[in-house]
Amino acid sequence: MSRIAKKRTFIVIKLIVAALLLVIQVYPIFYVITSSMKTTDDFRQLASYALPSSINFDNYIKVFTTSSMPTYFKNSVIITVGVLIPLLLISFMAGFALSKIKFRGNKLVLEFLMLGLMLPFQVALIPLFTIFNNLGILNTYPAVILPQIAFSLSYSIQLFYSFSKFLPDEIIEAAIIDGCTPFRTFIQIIVPMSTNSLLTVATMQGVFTWNDFINAYTFTRSTSMKTVTLGLNDFVGFMGTTDWGATFAAITVTVLPTFLFYFFTSKYMMSGLTAGAVKE
């Protein structure tokens, strides 16, 4: 076989593999969306892989009118924002300080913070539940927000530490020589230069927080405090019967915000990850 024939064969194989991977990744999403438009009769009479008999949005109306999904959305938004703002502020400042400010023991501080990567969140559920119960903050936003901030700090600080290593020291030194205070240098120079890294961490941690189940399930009790991931249980009825149309519609509206958020920030996220991987 000639070299050109081998090259064409290799290209065809790559295209086939890429097409298979695309189908494997896209079909579950396509299946959920099409199933969310099926009626009860469609589920009974049509094959599971068949398209709906007609375009039907009744299941989406049902999700927002017969369940507490608007409340669940509100709770998820409050918890996600409540986690991201303190997490980004603390981890960004800590990562930058450990990377650029030379002080005695900064390596030990970084290594101590990185110990959090070795501790699985699940091992702390029972102690945290006991502590929050004694403090009387179970079934409140702080009970859901604080553990997620604490257990995300190590990873976020590590990312910002890597990103800050990429920032040129000369720019910081020039700003200080020109009379900028350290805080003003950080706000007016470092933060605008770190937009990609901030969006990278915000995207990753935002998706984790939005999709969280075990944390919200452990520290909340009432329906008024449920998040969207917990709210999917509302569509399992008496004796375990499931309203599949409404369930697939609820799944669609649950994952849609993360898809949209990632779609609009993926370019900046990839750029931020690439910048963090560059070694000086």
What pLDDT digit, counting tens, does each position of 187-204 carry? 888 888 888 888 888 988
Q: What is the predicted pLDDT for the residue at 53? A: 85
Flag whether 43 is in a domain.
Answer: no
pLDDT in tens, 12-41: 899 999 999 988 988 888 999 999 999 888
Flag whether 58 is in a domain.
Answer: no
Same domain, 164 and 99: yes
Q: What is the predicted pLDDT for the residue at 1? A: 59
pLDDT in tens, 208-228: 999 999 999 999 988 889 999
125-135: burial string, b at 16+ Cβ within 10 Å, e else: beebeeebeee
- 216 within 8 A of 229, measured Cβ to Cβ: yes
Number of domains in the chain: 2
Same domain, 16 and 102: no
Q: What is the predicted pLDDT for the residue at 44? A: 85
Flag whether 73 is in a domain.
Answer: yes
Same domain, 16 and 122: no
Q: What is the predicted pLDDT for the residue at 73? A: 92
Same domain, 30 and 73: no
Q: What is the predicted pLDDT for the residue at 16? A: 93
Same domain, 27 and 110: no
Q: What is the predicted pLDDT for the residue at 199? A: 87
Residue 23's domain comprises 3-35
Same domain, 157 and 18: no
Q: What is the predicted pLDDT for the residue at 268? A: 66
Flag whether 46 is in a domain.
Answer: no
Flag whether 45 is in a domain.
Answer: no
Q: Around 39, how many Cα atoms within 13 Å sit in the side-chain half-sphere?
A: 7
Spans of the chain below 50 pLDDT: 238-239, 276-280
Same domain, 72 and 121: yes
Question: Across all residues in the chain, what is the average pLDDT?
Answer: 85
Same domain, 21 and 71: no
CATH at 78: 1.10.3720.10
Percent of the chain with pLDDT over 90: 31
Same domain, 75 and 163: yes
Flag whether 104 is in a domain.
Answer: yes
- CB neighbour list of residue 174: distance below 8 Å, 6 or more residues apart: none
